[in-house]
Amino acid sequence: MLEKFFVRPESVDRIRSSWVGKEVEQYVCWLSDHGYSVSTISRRIPIVIQFGEFAREHGVSELKDLPLQVEPFVEKWLAERCGPKMAAHERKKVGQCVRNSLRQMLRLAVPGYVGLKRHCQPDNPFETSAPKFFDFLQEEKGLRKATIMKYRHSLRKLAAYFKKIGLKDVAHLSPPILSGLVAELSPVTSWSELRNTCGVIRVFIRYLHRERVLVKDFSNALEAPKNYRLSGLTRSISWDDVRRVLETVERRSAVGKRDYAILLLLVTYGLRAREIAALTLDDIDWRNDRLRIPERKAGHSTGYPLSKIVGEAIVDYLKNGRPKSSSRNLFLRSMAPIQPVGPTAVTCCAARYLAKAGIKVPRAGSHTFRHTCAQRLLDAGLTIKGIGDYLGHRSPSSTQIYTKVAIEALRQVALGDGEEAI
């Protein structure tokens, strides 16, 4: 593999003769497999070789001691190669590039090494009083990892409030304290997020009572602010706006081919961002023109007829835009490291093209197209049950959120004689 990136035999011999030569060659293979360019690999390998020599000069003889030498080496590198006239932000950028190369190599070479990260709060902020709470959520309630992450986020808010008011023991939790938390969060938190936070804390209180940490179960004392059911408006856009969004995609580029296929999947099938990110090559049955969506939010799978225009967009991406990768995921990042896109990337993709098309909608993102798909089905005369089955809902009440306004009928009322629309 080294011969592919270094022409001179002496360069290859020098790398392999280094005491970290085996690890460096492993790093080269990893960079190549993840789509890094030849120039990037050729630039990074000398850095890690010099790092190995620097560490050896400072008495390091085992791989497990290498992480301690990262920052001293970066400082030495900057001192030798960055003059005094270099701007601070440029110096920081160069240092980060060197640091990232070393950390990537160490993640492969040193077991358990993850690199320095920004300070993170503990996974369970109430580890002392409720150490098995998240085990309870996973094993007894059967919650998904993504849902448990939301529980963790809400409990961190509760822990932060405890710290602010000086409460150290969760056994002293009381209804007035909960009221104070709601009063503090209300001005800075959306209604839906506050509702979810209150729901998480209610579950947490019931668990503490079951474990006899709390004497009484006062979970019912915590009430989120009231909100009228179906009081908000949908985030759907018109079909003309959908066309405008699709026309803004530069389909000649690899990224454009991928994004065009993603947008078509969003608006045609009303898929969630998580469902698109989880799509694999095995979920498309080309012979029978079928698209399978496994493990939906409601816990079931759905099969759709593969639309001709969607199929053509996916084929165009697979042939002319998808990077070479052993991953079976359908959509991949366009830049190294080559890896599957995540749900956040799908949401950002939708929001970016909505903004590019000049379409303003509350909370722009992938769900805008899900709402649009539901509205399109409603306008076509499908029943609530039919729309819910198409979108993958477990309960009809979930479908009503997307179909609570007959947009076209209201437009007729606004533009002319309302009796014609009745």
Same structural domain for residues 249 and 363? yes
79 located within any domain: yes
Which residue, 228, 185, 189, 221, is CA-closest to 205? Answer: 221
47 located within any domain: yes
The H or E element spanning position 285 is strand 284-285
Averaged pLDDT, 76-92 = 86
Each residue of 107-118: b (16+ CB within 10 Å) or e?
A: eebbeeeeeeee
The H or E element spanning position 284 is strand 284-285
Residues with catalytic function: 272, 297, 367, 370, 393, 402
Residue 287 is predicted with a pLDDT of: 92
Same structural domain for residues 196 and 286? no
Q: Rounded CA gap, 131 and 417, in Å?
A: 64
pLDDT surpasses 70 at 178: yes
pLDDT surpasses 70 at 403: no
Q: What phi and psi, each to the nearest 5 degrees, are found at residue 126?
A: -115, 45
Q: Rounded CA gap, 68 and 52, in Å?
A: 12
Residue 179 structure tokens: 């009221």
| Most confident range, picked from 82-86, 219-223, 305-309, 379-383 | 305-309
pTM, entire model: 0.73
- Residues 279/317, Cβ–Cβ less than 8 Å: no
Q: Strands, E, within 29-135: which ranges? A: none
Q: How confident is the model at residue 349 (pLDDT cuts 50, 70, 90)?
A: very high
Phi-psi domain of 225 (left: phi exceeds 0; alpha: psi -120 through 50; beta: other): beta
pLDDT surpasses 90 at 420: no
Q: Which residues pair with 284 in a beta bridge?
A: 291
- Residues 168/188, Cβ–Cβ less than 8 Å: no
Residue 413 is predicted with a pLDDT of: 62
Which residue in the block uniquely carries the two structure tokens 């090559």?
Answer: 281
Residue 352 lies in domain: 239-368
Q: What 3-state class would DSSP assign to 159? A: helix
The CATH number assigned to the domain holding 318 equals: 1.10.443.10
Same structural domain for residues 13 and 89? yes
Same structural domain for residues 217 and 245? no
- Residue 233 is classified by DSSP as P
Q: Which residues contact 46 (CB under 8 A, 6 or more apart)?
A: none
39 located within any domain: yes
Residue 212 is predicted with a pLDDT of: 92
- Residues 353/248, Cβ–Cβ less than 8 Å: yes
pLDDT digits (tens, 9 = 90+) for 310-336: 999 999 999 999 998 889 999 999 888
Same structural domain for residues 62 and 11? yes
pLDDT digits (tens, 9 = 90+) for 128-168: 889 999 999 999 988 888 888 889 999 999 999 999 999 88
**The total number of structural domains that make up the chain:** 3
23 located within any domain: yes
Residue 232 is predicted with a pLDDT of: 59
201 located within any domain: yes
Q: Rounded CA gap, 141 and 296, in Å?
A: 18
The angle that helices 366-379 and 239-247 make with each other, rounded to 10 degrees, is 140
Residue 387 is predicted with a pLDDT of: 82
229 located within any domain: no
Residue 409 is predicted with a pLDDT of: 60
230 located within any domain: no
Residue 295 is predicted with a pLDDT of: 75
pLDDT digits (tens, 9 = 90+) for 35-82: 888 888 888 998 999 999 999 999 988 988 999 999 999 999 998 888
Residue 144 structure tokens: 């998904």
Averaged pLDDT, 251-280 = 94
pLDDT digits (tens, 9 = 90+) for 180-224: 988 888 888 887 788 889 999 999 999 999 999 998 998 888 877
Residue 292 is predicted with a pLDDT of: 93
Averaged pLDDT, 120-125 = 73
102 located within any domain: yes
pLDDT surpasses 70 at 119: no
